[in-house]
Amino acid sequence: MSTSTPPDIRAGRLADAEYAKRFADAAPRLTSSQALLEAERCLYCFDAPCATACPTEIDVPSFIKRIADGNVRGSARTILESNPLGGMCARVCPTENLCEAVCVRNTQEDRPVAIGRLQRYAVDALMESDKPQIFTRAPATGKTVAVVGAGPAGLACAHVLARHGHNVVVFDARPKPGGLNEYGLASYKTPDDFAQAEVKWLLAIGGIELRPNWKLETTAQLEALRQDYDALFLGMGLSSTHRLGVPGEDLDGVQDAVDFIARLRQSSDLSTLPVGRRVVVIGGGMTAVDAAVQSKLLGAEEVHMVYRRGPEHLSASATEQEWAQTHGVVLHHWLAPAEIIDNGGGHVAAVRFAEQTMAQGKLQPTGREVRLDADVVLKAIGQQLGNPVLAHSGLTLQDGRIATDVVGQTNLPGVWAGGDCRAGGLDLTVEAVEHGKQSALAIHARLTAA
């Protein structure tokens, strides 16, 4: 006779109407009146620090001034010239750590100009207009570039190359383009299928072919891309997650947070998506926050987000942390996972954590332990390249990612890389876009050199 305690995991914890309400747009767009009032708060600084803080170097004062002048289409053009995925970045970029963090209004009014929301207002207005396409292609160059990965880096690279007259073939392992924009972000950040609407806008430039369900699995494939195309850009992101390295990690109920988020994003009916009554999320980044908050929104009664260091070390922004707490997620610090406990039937029942402290610059256990009961454990401790083909092909790797120069060129002639798979980055959507843009400009220069 089994003595195991069955896990409490089920779908439909909420009334049907509650799902749409809970997963509605987290930051609804500004109205035209709100946008005008907010734009008029901008001081249009010379050598504006907000523009310098933007990884894609959007001319922030310029696009905001155009909103104030009623030229919303011109505002969107200013944004998209620098960042072709400006709509998504306006939704998910941690502006509180970048452009808005250095806004001079912080010192004058203790509140920055809402740059991210103004950016969304302008781009959304353009994309929903009768004539959303503001760019035209240059004359055809006769060159074709292969892009591996239809995420932010790959899409940005493809769009810039297409504008310069090159043809582009984008290969991606997933059935739908968008990368993490489609599969890895919380639904309340990107409602109404915006990721695909943005891809549709990007592809409207022409000259870009998508080839989905294509995986880079052999060195022969990579070599064929180098031979068959005039240049190659690698923007495939990170394909696998780090392991916790503790007993019980392979028990049923232990999942990767990115897989949980992907299933949620692709679900057509959230009431059919099972969620545990008690959920423990291990990690301290934005993926951890997205997984924790969405578990709570699906009806989990208890959600704990646990990080092994102090709050000042979390990669999730202060705004993201506050968002989690506002939604009932309990944040724990200085706790390292030590064991995932079996319920007696092969399923997780709890997680045992060892309390940590910092001593002489190193994490040290205090000897105290904490147990958190769980029906589901979500791992969000970072991702890795996870593709042996890249190393076997002769690419130089650095800290497990592809080493490049400042414009993304790798050690292999004719091969560039960008986004999360590139070493030394911040793992931000906006930075991935900049990687793709700079590599595209470098590729264009190489292909058109006399």
- At 66-115, the pLDDT tens digits run 999 999 999 999 999 999 999 999 999 999 999 999 999 998 888 999 99
- Compute the Cα dihedral for 117, 437, 172, 393 and give only its sign: negative
**φ and ψ at 211, to 5 degrees?**
-125, 95
Q: Mark whether 201 and 291 lie in a shared domain.
A: no
Of 127, 161, 192, which residue constitutes the final position of a domain? 127
DSSP state at residue 362: E
Report residue 95 as tokens: 């502006």
164, amino acid identity: H
Burial class of residue 315 in the structure, from the number of CB atoms within 10 Å of its CB (0-12 exposed, 13-18 middle, 19+ buried): middle
User: Has residue 450 got a pLDDT over 70?
Assistant: no
Task: Give the domain extent around 433.
Answer: 144-239+385-447
Question: In the prediction, which pLDDT does 425 show?
Answer: 84
pLDDT tens sequence across 178-223: 999 999 999 999 999 999 999 999 999 999 999 999 999 999 999 9
User: Has residue 50 got a pLDDT over 90?
Assistant: yes
pLDDT tens sequence across 296-313: 999 999 999 999 999 989
- Which CATH number is 259's domain given? 3.50.50.60
Of 379, 395, 418, which residue constitutes the final position of a domain? 379
CB distance 234 to 190 below 8 Å: no
Q: Mark whether 251 and 363 lie in a shared domain.
A: yes
**φ and ψ at 244, to 5 degrees?**
-70, -35
Question: In the prediction, which pLDDT does 213 show?
Answer: 97
Question: In the prediction, which pLDDT does 386 show?
Answer: 78
Question: Does pTM top 0.85 for this prediction?
Answer: yes
Cβ neighbours of residue 21 closer than 8 Å, sequence gap 6 or more: none
User: Has residue 323 got a pLDDT over 60?
Assistant: yes
Q: Mark whether 77 and 194 lie in a shared domain.
A: no
Q: Mark whether 94 and 183 lie in a shared domain.
A: no
In a domain, 19, yes or no: no
Q: Mark whether 91 and 187 lie in a shared domain.
A: no
Q: Mark whether 110 and 46 lie in a shared domain.
A: yes
In a domain, 299, yes or no: yes
Q: Mark whether 186 and 284 lie in a shared domain.
A: no
Q: Mark whether 343 and 330 lie in a shared domain.
A: yes
Q: What are the DSSP calls for 271-328, one per residue?
A: GGS-EESEEEEE--SHHHHHHHHHHHHTT-SEEEEE-SS-GGG-SS-HHHHHHHHHTT
276, amino acid identity: G
- Which CATH number is 63's domain given? 1.10.1060.10
Question: In the prediction, which pLDDT does 112 show?
Answer: 96
pLDDT tens sequence across 324-361: 999 999 999 999 999 999 999 999 999 999 999 998 88
Residue 3: pLDDT band by 50, 70, 90 thresholds?
A: low
The residue-averaged pLDDT of 16-34 equals: 94
Q: Which residues pair with 209 in a beta bridge?
A: 169
In a domain, 8, yes or no: no
Of 332, 358, 379, which residue constitutes the final position of a domain? 379
In a domain, 204, yes or no: yes
In a domain, 138, yes or no: no
In a domain, 314, yes or no: yes
Q: Mark whether 114 and 203 lie in a shared domain.
A: no
> How many domains is the chain partitioned into structurally?
3
Least confident of 4-8, 136-140, 224-228, 397-401: 4-8
Q: Mark whether 72 and 175 lie in a shared domain.
A: no
User: Has residue 1 got a pLDDT over 90?
Assistant: no
Report residue 274 as tokens: 């099972």
In a domain, 392, yes or no: yes
In a domain, 272, yes or no: yes
Q: Scanning the structure block, which residue is given the tokens 């747009």?
A: 25
Residue 2: pLDDT band by 50, 70, 90 thresholds?
A: very low
**Better pLDDT: 426 or 340:** 340
Q: Mark whether 374 and 253 lie in a shared domain.
A: yes
The overall average pLDDT reported for the chain is 95
User: Has residue 404 got a pLDDT over 50?
Assistant: yes
Q: How far is CA 368 from the centre of its chain?
A: 35
pLDDT tens sequence across 62-80: 999 999 999 999 999 999 9
Which residue from 129, 132, 117, 142 is spatially nearest to 202, judged by alpha carbons?
Answer: 132
174, amino acid identity: R
Q: Mark whether 149 and 234 lie in a shared domain.
A: yes
